[in-house]
Amino acid sequence: MNPERSGAQPKIARIWRGRTTAARADAYAAYLYEHGIKPLEQKALGVQMLREDREGESEFVTISYWESVEAMSRFAGSDPRRIHHLDRDAEFLIALPEAVQILKIAASSGRTG
């Protein structure tokens, strides 16, 4: 979580999903963390990287939390729903994601970090 923004409450979640082969999953996890998660840690209220290993492939889900769509737009550009592929995503991912989800947080409880 960005310490300068720790007083703000998350109201928006931006969710990205991508799949890679099982053989490339560990390498992609390291790459995604370094080039996708770390930059978000500096801008978002919080961020999570989730991984589900399946037979033959792994799915990664990145959820970033924002105080508003405007705040998200300062990081993601004027259209926060637009996908921003990392430089090596085409090399790692089975298919390049075409969209992200942007959801309003309707209720939240507990600790996630």
In tens, the pLDDT along 39-76 reads 999 999 999 999 999 999 999 999 999 999 888 888 77
Report field, pTM of the whole predicted structure over 0.85: yes
> Pick the residue with more confidence: 9 or 29?
29
In tens, the pLDDT along 75-90 reads 777 787 888 899 999 9
Judge residue 112's burial from the number of C-beta atoms within 10 Å of its C-beta, 0-12 exposed, 13-18 middle, 19 or more buried: exposed
Mean pLDDT of the chain: 90
Q: Which domains does the chain have, with CATH numbers?
A: 8-104 (3.30.70.100)
Helix (H) or strand (E) holding 76, with range, is helix 69-76
Q: How many residues does the chain have?
A: 113
From CA 99, how far away is CA 105, in angstroms rounded? Answer: 19
